[in-house]
Chains A and B, each alone.
Chain A
Amino acid sequence: MKRLFCFLALTVAVILVGCGKPDFSDAEKKTIASLALNTLPALKPDTTNRFADVPAAAALGSTLFFDLGMSRDGTVSCSTCHKIDRQFQDDLPQAVGVGRTNRRTMALAGVARDPWFFWDGRRDSLWSQAITPLENPLEQAGNRTAYAHYIKTRFGERYERIFGPLPDFSGMPLNASPLGNDAERAAWNAMSETQRDAINRVFANIGKAIAAFERSIEPVQTRFDRFALDLATGAEPKDDAVFTREEILGLKLFIGKANCVSCHNGPRFTDNSFHNTGVPPVADLPPDRGRIDAVAQVEADPFNCFGAYRDGDVGACGELRFMVKDAPQLIRAYKTPSLRGAATRPPYMHAGQFSSLDEVVAHYAKAAPSVEGISEIHPLELSDRERAALVAFLKTLSE
């Protein structure tokens, strides 16, 4: 009789242990492996920026990134919003530079791998992105010739060692820019073509130095990556690489029924594309139509890949060359953000519309129609337990 009880007890134990083990189909295992950080390829060279991998350029770029002098009134640097100890973002629904902006600051891990920059992709290179906030009146609020003068005064020697001689500034206005106030625009228009080109070149080089620094900001390994690696190799997960049943359910939903992986795919959990997912506008902000309005901006940008300040050949400009320009799908479409580290950086969406991951999951489950354009997402039947499981899984990308 004792033996029978022993046998029963053993059977029960085996069944219980079995339940706790992750049980994935081969297709699921393949998808999970494709999300793991070890599948992230090495960073490709950026031929449009010949200083991208020059250490002295990255060092100058890091100085400029943290330098408050890189703003009109000496109070704002890139790092004001891209905070180094906060995944290079600021925890605010909309970034605050010299003024309050209309968009959420994006985290920077892996940014050098993006084909498009900002939430709407209105810039097509990391270096042309980096100089845009410098002249935005709500961000760093400076102007092009003032930055060039500042670089000469503060960093002239360092700049020239990397980029060659600075232009002759004699006769150039202290404050001038094609994007500035009336006086600055008038001063810009009064400059000769050669002078404007010389200033633009210094300005582009500022961006190239900052981009060289930003290339070093890469995603870090998380609990999910340790779990995925063990799953792929068949190793027994240890310590924090063991997923709870809730986290496993969340992962299964993420790559299955909830369809999150359609857009949040690859080791950065992003398809680098733009989608309308019906995220509501913010009441007191100006109208925001997303990607559809960014197309003209990137085409008009003198620092875009087709412009005179690109290094290397035009073959690197495929994204701009084959860009979708006028499809209805671009209306209120925004870039798919990476989900790595997302759990510890609320609020969410392009203008911080949602304050928690619970709200984000609820939004995607409900799939309300977009105020303009057509949302790509469909309603989902998710139980409370399933919603909680999705959030639990997302947290493994931040631990």
Chain B
Amino acid sequence: MASLWRYLLAGLGLAALLVGILAVVYLTAPQSAQTVGPDVSRTKKTDNGLYMASFVPERGVVRHGELESWLLTLKTKTGASVERAAIAISGGMPQHNHGLPTSPQVTDYLGEGRYRIEGLKFTMSGWWQLRFAISSGAGSDTVLFNVVL
């Protein structure tokens, strides 16, 4: 009889050890696999290196589901402001087969290479892309910004 209890205790002991090992494994494992997201920098060189572009929300914060305006600032390689550029905007959500829910447009030139872009709307969380085709005296170039909400 006594030996039966001994086996039972040994079994419990082993089970406890297993639970302990599992606990260590689970507790030390990372919460979720860290996937590498898209480049979300707000300032970057355009694809052919003609301009430095920066793209920021005019009010500083991105609001979900509301029309908002952003500022696109364009400088040449030498740091001069780009004036009178023609800018075409497109974009969408690469993971959802759809383009932008609105047609944002340049509505104002604010000086010092800053262009106001109105009519942006981010209707869902996730990975958005905004492409700008820029054309000025310095030449034509494109740039893509990623916005992750």
Known: A25-B31, A262-B126, A272-B65. A322 touches B102 (CB 8 A): yes
| B interface: dominant SS | loop
Query: How far apart sit A321 and B103, CA to CA, in the bound complex (Å)?
Result: 8
Closest B-chain residue to A30, C-beta based? B125
The stretch of B91-99, B108-116, B134-142 that contacts the partner chain: B91-99
A376 interfacial contact with B, CB 8 Å: yes
Known: A272-B65, A272-B123, A318-B119. A329 touches B105 (CB 8 A): no
A398 interfacial contact with B, CB 8 Å: no
User: Do B103 and A376 have beta carbons less than 8 Å apart?
Assistant: no
When distances are taken between beta carbons in the complex, the residues of chain B under 8 Å from A319 are 67, 102
Produce 1/0 per residue, A233-244, CB < 8 A to B.
Answer: 000000000000
User: Do A329 and B99 have beta carbons less than 8 Å apart?
Assistant: yes
User: Do A374 and B99 have beta carbons less than 8 Å apart?
Assistant: no
A350 interfacial contact with B, CB 8 Å: no
Chain B interface, number of residues (Cβ within 8 angstroms): 22
The stretch of A138-146, A263-271, A301-309 that contacts the partner chain: A263-271
How extensive is the interface on chain A, given as a class? 20 to 34
User: Do B64 and A266 have beta carbons less than 8 Å apart?
Assistant: yes
User: Do A376 and B65 have beta carbons less than 8 Å apart?
Assistant: no
When distances are taken between beta carbons in the complex, the residues of chain A under 8 Å from B126 are 262
Closest A-chain residue to B97, C-beta based? A376
B-contacting residues, A320-343, CB 8 Å:
321-325, 327, 329
Our pick among A261, A262, A324 for the contact of B99 (Cβ within 8 Å) is A324
User: Do A266 and B99 have beta carbons less than 8 Å apart?
Assistant: no
A344 interfacial contact with B, CB 8 Å: no
A275 interfacial contact with B, CB 8 Å: yes
User: Do A271 and B65 have beta carbons less than 8 Å apart?
Assistant: yes
B-contacting residues, A326-377, CB 8 Å:
327, 329, 374-376
User: Do A324 and B96 have beta carbons less than 8 Å apart?
Assistant: no
The smallest C-beta distance from A367 to any residue of chain B, in angstroms, reads 11
Query: How far apart sit A325 and B102, CA to CA, in the bound complex (Å)?
Result: 9
Query: How far apart sit A323 and B121, CA to CA, in the bound complex (Å)?
Result: 11
Query: How far apart sit A323 and B104, CA to CA, in the bound complex (Å)?
Result: 9
User: Do A322 and B125 have beta carbons less than 8 Å apart?
Assistant: no
User: Do B124 and A271 have beta carbons less than 8 Å apart?
Assistant: yes
A79 interfacial contact with B, CB 8 Å: no
The smallest C-beta distance from A143 to any residue of chain B, in angstroms, reads 35
Produce 1/0 per residue, A253-265, CB < 8 A to B.
Answer: 0000000011101
* Chain A contact residues, CB within 8 Å of chain B: 25, 31, 261-263, 265-266, 271-275, 318-319, 321-325, 327, 329, 374-376
* Nearest 4 Cβ contacts at the A-B interface: A322-B119, A271-B123, A322-B102, A318-B67
* Chain B contact residues, CB within 8 Å of chain A: 31-32, 64-65, 67, 96-105, 118-119, 121, 123-126
Known: A261-B125, A273-B101, A322-B119. 18 other contacts (CB 8 A): A25-B31, A25-B32, A31-B125, A262-B96, A262-B124, A265-B65, A266-B64, A272-B65, A274-B101, A319-B102, A322-B102, A322-B105, A323-B102, A324-B100, A324-B101, A329-B98, A374-B97, A376-B96
